Amino acid sequence: MNTQTIQIARRLWASMHQHRRLLWITALTMLITALTEAMFPRVFGYLLDHGFKGEKTNLPLWKIPAAIVGIFILRGLCTFTTSYLMSWIAASQLNELRAQVFARILNVPINFYHTESSGRIINTIMFEAQQIVEMVKVSITTLFRDSFTVAVLFVYLLWINWRLTLVTLVLIPAMALLIRRVSKRLRRLNRDQLEVNGELTQVIEETTRASQVIRIFGGQKYEQDRFDHKNEKLRGYAMKTTVAVATTTPVTQILAACAVSIVVMLAVIQNKTSVGNFVEFIMAMMLLLAPLKRLADLNGPMQRGMAAAESVFSMIDAEPEHDSGNPLSARAQGKLEFINASFSYPGQEQVALQQINLSIQPGETLALVGMSGGGKTSLVNLVPRFYQASAGEILLDGMPLNQISLASLRAQIAMVSQSVVLFDDTVAANIAYGDPQPDAARIAAAVTAAHLEDVVRELPEGLSTMIGDNGSRLSGGQRQRLAIARAIYKDAPILILDEATSALDSESERAVQSALDELMQGRTTLVIAHRLSTIERASRIAVLVDGMLGEIGTHAELLAKDGVYANLYRLQFTAST
């Protein structure tokens, strides 16, 4: 085994340390099961030597069936206990692995989701974690029980006839060489298979999420071709893996047949053993073949599990968000300052923001406008520390953001984005999302402020109505107003609004804009807007051009300046006219 495989194996074994008592009990039941293997040939050998002679023997007839039934009862109890305990350990291990991955993806930086697809994450949590525990369950059961069985049978064979037993040892190096050759290919095949499985999961996830787009643009054939390609590729890897694994079985059986044949020939030539002893020896050898075969076949699931473990542990080991700050002692006033702030996205040389100097007073509404790619979203993403500024610093009430803990900082911020994200829960749960003890009065007030009363009234169960996946049972405008109600409920001193009224019709927009105007009173608000008519009453308007602060001022001042903002305003006014 290479160093990486040994490290993964040690890590898996260390993760099972809390179940060590159950593992010891399981190992004991496996050892007893292995001992029962040697009991069968001993019973039949004794029967042949003492129960089938022409002369009368002192062997009571009831002993043989009693011994056979007793062995089966003991074996059955031990097998059941082994299976139950290993299933319990595996289920616990699966829950723990999934919980570790899920806990980590809740705390990774935002750019993690730019490199890892949702299909890959889902595949890791659901499928690859399952592969690991199945490997652990099968490998521990097979490795321990069958190793005990092989050891017990070898000792028993040596006790019967050590000379003939040495012949059977030819199986061990031959099987070891075979497994070594197959292991490398299996690891590579399983790693590729897991990667394709993640790609297939991604195709399925995208197809279910984009069902309307697929139908409107006639993408059924394209999606079917994508699915068929990945599915066929997955089938190919599965068949290659099967061929590699299945090769070990006939080779093992051929080696075993050769060993048995040699033993039979030597026993006949020597003619120094009784019929009972000979039958005992042959039975023990035949019983030895099954555990040896299972040990050889164990290579396949172990390699699949190791490949899955690499993927799962790489996600568990993903670097979490850096959080070295301290909690705020009180509610923030909301003063934001950008001092020579610059930013580049990880892995990209192009600068997204350059030398931003900006001071936003508590309660002020600052609108951010500009062409797409100008840096508006990049700038607001620096406030909740979704990303860290590459240079310069950002202050909240005079304190650098990196000196404030993430939880404390984000508790001061509410956000409503153009791409509304809702959860498959009740209306009330979505409004009070993140509050462990929701306040019914605050929920009702948020519903009123967001002009959701008529919507809630028409729902079959009111605030307790389940809204479906991402609010699929609501209209676009209703979903947007629900997201606004969530921001109203949080009552944070800083608001980030990214086209918060973009999905609303004219009537709803007026109603919600009125609610937003009331909500923004006394709060520091950053508004990203493409429709300039919605931000004319902002305290100030900042125009971002290619990541730099081009202009800043009130609506009237920027129009009078006749610069970039005035040009954008004229273009939109002409287009709307």
> Nearest Cα to 296, choosing from 237, 244, 235?
244
Distance CA 369, CA 379 (A): 11
Same domain for 378 and 297?
Answer: no
Domain assignment of residue 86, yes or no: yes
pLDDT at residue 380 tops 50: yes
Distance CA 53, CA 60 (A): 14
Quote the mean pLDDT of the chain: 79
Distance CA 324, CA 16 (A): 31
Same domain for 368 and 258?
Answer: no
The DSSP 8-state label assigned to residue 529 in this structure reads -
Can you read off the two tokens belonging to residue 201? 């999961």
Amino acid at the residue 11: R
pLDDT at residue 46 tops 70: no
Distance CA 39, CA 62 (A): 17
Same domain for 386 and 312?
Answer: no
Same domain for 79 and 142?
Answer: yes
Same domain for 238 and 384?
Answer: no
pLDDT at residue 490 tops 70: yes
Same domain for 297 and 363?
Answer: no
Angle, vertex CA 174, rays to CA 172 and CA 177, nearest 5: 105
Same domain for 90 and 223?
Answer: yes
Task: Give the pLDDT score at 336.
Answer: 92
Amino acid at the residue 30: M
Same domain for 234 and 376?
Answer: no
pLDDT tens string 88-97: 888 888 888 8
Same domain for 306 and 340?
Answer: no
Domain assignment of residue 108, yes or no: yes
pLDDT at residue 479 tops 80: yes
| CATH number of residue 556's parent domain | 3.40.50.300
Distance CA 139, CA 141 (A): 5
Domain assignment of residue 521, yes or no: yes
Residue 553, exposed/middle/buried by CB under 10 A (0-12, 13-18, 19+)? middle
pLDDT tens string 55-73: 445 656 666 677 777 777 8
Domain assignment of residue 550, yes or no: yes
Can you read off the two tokens belonging to residue 17? 């340390």
> Which residue do the tokens 């159950």 mark?
22
Sheet holding 524-528, edge to edge: 413-416, 494-498, 524-528, 365-369, 540-545, 548-553
Same domain for 363 and 270?
Answer: no
Q: Which 3 state secondary structure label does DSSP give 339? A: strand
Name the domain boundary from 316, 347, 382: 316
- Alpha carbons within 13 angstroms on the beta-carbon side of residue 124 total 21
Task: Give the pLDDT score at 577.
Answer: 46
In the chain, the number of structural domains is 2
Domain assignment of residue 325, yes or no: no
Name the domain boundary from 316, 347, 375: 316
| Straight-line distance from the first to the last Cα atom of the chain, in angstroms, rounded to the nearest whole number | 73
Domain assignment of residue 163, yes or no: yes
| CATH number of residue 85's parent domain | 1.20.1560.10
Same domain for 117 and 229?
Answer: yes
Same domain for 96 and 182?
Answer: yes
Name the domain boundary from 316, 349, 378: 316
* pLDDT confidence tier of residue 395, bands split at 50, 70 and 90: very high
Distance CA 284, CA 286 (A): 5
Domain around 96: 3-316
Domain assignment of residue 44, yes or no: yes
Q: CA-based Rg of the chain, rounded to a whole angstrom? A: 35
pLDDT, greater one: 549 or 372? 549
The DSSP 8-state label assigned to residue 324 in this structure reads -
Domain assignment of residue 323, yes or no: no
